[in-house]
Amino acid sequence: MEPAPADNIVRAAGAVLVDGERVALVHRPRYDDWTLPKGKNEPGEDDIAAALREVQEETGFHGRIERDLGVVRYTVEKHGAVLPKIVRYYVMAVGGGAFEPNHEVDELRWVTREQAAQLLTYERDREVLARW
């Protein structure tokens, strides 16, 4: 696999969606993983707009950004190329809404910080959680 050119960065955004002392984790059947709600930025979309949209799409809840948690960097494979990915995370307070299973996310769990650290599939998500 060839490394991707530097200008071919995958941008994404997401959140630690909180309700009091509980955090929302989502299960994605495509990957059979537990993760924080996040997704790729659409063309022309900034990180804040992408995070708000992705949280609503994946969890069914509207979020209110409380603070920036910084970024996580890793690589992903797409069509045989290794691409750098940068995900910006925010702490969001939960607003109105309700979870409905969909094609991307089939389950949502509200868990404590300790439960989340055990359930999350990826170490990078645990690192973001620790910033909360």
Give the start-to-end residue ranges of the domains of the chain.
2-131
Give the number of residues written for the chain.
Answer: 132
Q: Contact, 110 vs 22, CB < 8 A?
A: yes
- Arithmetic mean of pLDDT, 30-35: 97
3-class DSSP state for residue 44? coil
Over the stretch 71-83, which tens digit does the pLDDT of each residue have?
A: 999 999 988 999 9
CB 61 within 8 A of CB 22: no
Q: How far apart are CA 28 and CA 58, in angstroms?
A: 9
pLDDT range class, residue 7, cuts 50, 70, 90:
low
Per-residue model confidence as pLDDT tens digits over 39-58: 999 999 999 999 999 999 99
Q: What is the mean pLDDT of residues 13-37?
A: 98
Q: Which two tokens stand for residue 44?
A: 């022309």
CATH topology assigned to domain 2-131: Nucleoside Triphosphate Pyrophosphohydrolase (3.90.79)
Distance of alpha carbon 58 from alpha carbon 38, whole angstroms: 8
Distance separating alpha carbons of residues 59 and 37, to the nearest angstrom: 7
